[in-house]
Amino acid sequence: MNELSKKSLTGLIKLQVGLALLLFLPAWSLHFWQAWIYWMLFGISVLMITLYFLKHDPGLVNRRLDAGPGAEHEKIQKIIQAIASVLVCALIIVPGFDHRFHWSAVPTAIVLSADVMVALGLLMVFFVFRANSYAASVVKVEASQPVIETGPYRLVRHPMYAGGLLALLATPLALGSPWGLLVGIALCGVIVARLLDEERFLSAHLPGYDAYCRKVRYRLVPMVW
């Protein structure tokens, strides 16, 4: 196993441990079947995506490892990412408290449907990664980086955010908590702020991006916005 594989898989293990703590500590119980399904679905999906790109595009994996507010180069993106990180944690924590204190009840069919939406969101992200090897975790432009116009980029300018938001917005219901959707709405606002600033950055630093924006009108949802 090479160094990149070790670093990637170690990071995934840490991510899964952290996710388990955020899920089960607020719930104060392991009898939380919605959380177990979500935890396994997320872990297996991310593992499969990671293994695929370790084999087919290790450069992408390496770019994705440099993540978080501290890795951002622009001050505004550091702030946006810090806020987003807090909200993502809250998105996981709130359903745990909901489960613990019985604030609400979500039918099993809706929970499982939300799990499907989470999986679809992650699948969308997978196809984005296949189309764009430069899909880094931070806002930056590399030397000789092209404008990607193939795959999901033919439909919207920010398909990775579209897939990620789908998975994130489905997360509270997958965990049996409609209250978490309030956090999801706030998170949507933060993601929109991120992508708008990212467009400003790319227009200034990535040749051909303005022409791409004129060609592909929609940012997140085709025929909507």
pLDDT score of 196: 96
Angle at CA of residue 127, ends 37 and 206, nearest 5°: 130
Domain holding 150, by residue range, is 3-215
pLDDT score of 181: 95
pLDDT score of 143: 86
- Alpha carbon of 81 to those of 57, 59, 62, 101, 127: distances in Å? 25, 23, 19, 30, 23
pLDDT score of 207: 92
| pLDDT tens-place string over residues 81-97 | 999 999 999 999 999 99
The answer to whether residue 222 is domain-embedded is no
- Alpha carbon of 217 to those of 8, 129, 214: distances in Å? 35, 21, 6
Q: What's 151's domain CATH number?
A: 1.20.120.1630
Entry pTM: 0.94
**183: CB partners within 8 A, 6+ apart:** 87, 90, 91, 94, 172
Distance between CA atoms of 53 and 56, rounded to whole angstroms? 5
C-beta separation of 50 from 15 below 8 A: no
**116: CB partners within 8 A, 6+ apart:** none
Other C-beta atoms closer than 10 Å to the C-beta of 10 total 10
The answer to whether residue 220 is domain-embedded is no
Structural domain total, the chain: 1
pLDDT score of 94: 98
pLDDT score of 185: 94
Q: Is 223 left (phi over 0), alpha (psi -120 to 50) or beta?
A: left
pLDDT score of 72: 85
pLDDT score of 33: 98
Query: Which residue stretches of the chain have pLDDT < 50?
Result: none
Distance between CA atoms of 195 and 205, rounded to whole angstroms? 15
The answer to whether residue 85 is domain-embedded is yes
The answer to whether residue 225 is domain-embedded is no
